[in-house]
A and B are shown apart, each in its own frame.
Chain A
């Protein structure tokens, strides 16, 4: 249990392993998006690395991984992703805290975690999409926003409708994949936090 306590405490969470895990999480976030685009899947999976970091090293490490993912992508590939670092960090914090409190130990609790991650994504992303980007994101989901806008709904309702349709599936798969993939890694290769929150 001490590894979980260390992972929850900001001062003790950042071990060398945690710092090494952060760039790996950044890479995985990017690869998730790359594979879904290659396979033409209606998903993003761009927070799978952050979620894995949350399950392996706790909320604070995942939050830093989330912010840095969007900073690195924003500063080296596409600048518009920078503001969404807040969303990525919030996902990392919620996933990490819930993992630490045993939400990966039963199917029912995992479903609750998926719902919470969906809710936090919508709550944090919606104001950014509406206020800064006037409802668009430059990706395929804009077609869904356009559909709601065409039916006479205002921009807040249109973006909310789009998020409610596209986010749950993405978050369900993100949690399932992160959980299944970590389970596939031998215990000895997982950081102590990860060994305790997924003890099988």
Chain B
């Protein structure tokens, strides 16, 4: 967790581009850093957060066009190439790493395990590899990978705080944006606390490797302090938010301004999904 402790400060330059800079990490809580976010100043970092999010829909829908691996594979290759050229190869790697277990399961279930009437491509004892099954596994994996890489590229290049601000500026409830942002920030914090509780309970002799009933008892012992403290903390947080006027009506001004741009592009991208969806259904 400590290796991810990078301080990120959202900044808006003289052209109105919003990005983030890395500064001293010594005093910054690792709990405040989103796990997926990659610091940088590429064109993808500078693009409006909602433009990137809007692009996910047509790309993902286009991935489902055709019943072969061709279309999703072309989109995937283009996306990986674009990311590598933009020095964001790490995002492509992250996406492909996320896809690895699913791709493995698809290949095993559809390509090897599932019986087919057609002749196998390769047969080795009871194990046989089927070409049709492999093609289905490849097509499905490529389709899901297009969605994964589009979401990862969109979200790994925007700090959650800037994303939440962009949503509020577009009229999304500040309460909903708070819940999203607080949830994103709470994930690493809760993980840290969970690890601390796990280590503390292990030092008290709780068995994490025993029989199933024993491990279930340990699970309860692990969850109880975390959940009770979280629920008690809810009251304190509620009071803190109320004292800051959380439930007061009216528009909020954000500490970080995201320049309003790309509305037409965002609408065009969303509209482009409709013909692509029709194409995906009929093709």
Q: At the interface, is chain B mostly helix, strand, loop or mixed?
A: helix
Q: Does any Cβ of B come within 8 Å of A24's Cβ?
A: yes
In the bound complex, residues from chain A placing their C-beta under 8 Å from that of B182 are 20, 22-23
Of B70-78, B98-106, B265-273, the segment with at least 4 beta carbons within 8 Å of chain A is B98-106
Known contacts being A181-B227, A189-B231, is A68 close to B194, with CB within 8 Å? no
In the bound complex, residues from chain B placing their C-beta under 8 Å from that of A181 are 223-224, 227-228
Asked if residues A138 and B102 are in contact (CB atoms below 8 Å), the reply is: yes
Known contacts being A23-B186, A24-B230, A79-B151, is A34 close to B219, with CB within 8 Å? no
In the bound complex, residues from chain B placing their C-beta under 8 Å from that of A15 are 247
* Contact among A35, A78, A184 for B228, CB-based, below 8 A: A184
Q: Does any Cβ of A come within 8 Å of B238's Cβ?
A: yes
In whole angstroms, how far apart are the Cα atoms of A173 and B220 in the complex? 10
Asked if residues A30 and B113 are in contact (CB atoms below 8 Å), the reply is: no
Q: How does the 8 Å CB contact mask read for B61-101 relative to A, with 1 for contact and 0 for none?
A: 00000000000000000000000000000000001001001
Asked if residues A145 and B224 are in contact (CB atoms below 8 Å), the reply is: no
Q: Does any Cβ of B come within 8 Å of A64's Cβ?
A: yes
Q: How does the 8 Å CB contact mask read for A25-61 relative to B, with 1 for contact and 0 for none?
A: 0111011101110111100010010001000100000
Q: How does the 8 Å CB contact mask read for A1-26 relative to B, with 1 for contact and 0 for none?
A: 00000000000001111011111101
In the bound complex, residues from chain B placing their C-beta under 8 Å from that of A132 are 144
Q: Does any Cβ of B come within 8 Å of A118's Cβ?
A: no
Q: How far is the CB of A163 from chain B (nearest CB, A)?
A: 15
Q: How far is the CB of B39 from chain A (nearest CB, A)?
A: 15
- Chain A contributes a number of interface residues (CB within 8 A of B) equal to 66
In whole angstroms, how far apart are the Cα atoms of A17 and B106 in the complex? 43
Q: Does any Cβ of A come within 8 Å of B233's Cβ?
A: yes
In the bound complex, residues from chain B placing their C-beta under 8 Å from that of A26 are 179, 183, 186-187
In whole angstroms, how far apart are the Cα atoms of A80 and B101 in the complex? 12
Asked if residues A34 and B246 are in contact (CB atoms below 8 Å), the reply is: no
Interface residues of A (CB under 8 A from B): 14-17, 19-24, 26-28, 30-32, 34-36, 38-41, 45, 48, 52, 56, 64-65, 68-69, 71-80, 82, 132-139, 142, 145-146, 149-150, 152, 173, 177, 180-182, 184-185, 189-191
Could you write out 10 A-B pairs with CB less than 8 Å apart? A19-B241, A20-B237, A20-B238, A20-B241, A30-B191, A72-B184, A75-B151, A133-B102, A150-B113, A185-B228
Other A-B pairs, 14, CB within 8 Å; known A38-B198, A64-B176: A27-B190, A30-B187, A34-B194, A39-B222, A45-B219, A72-B180, A75-B155, A79-B147, A133-B102, A134-B110, A136-B105, A137-B105, A139-B101, A190-B231
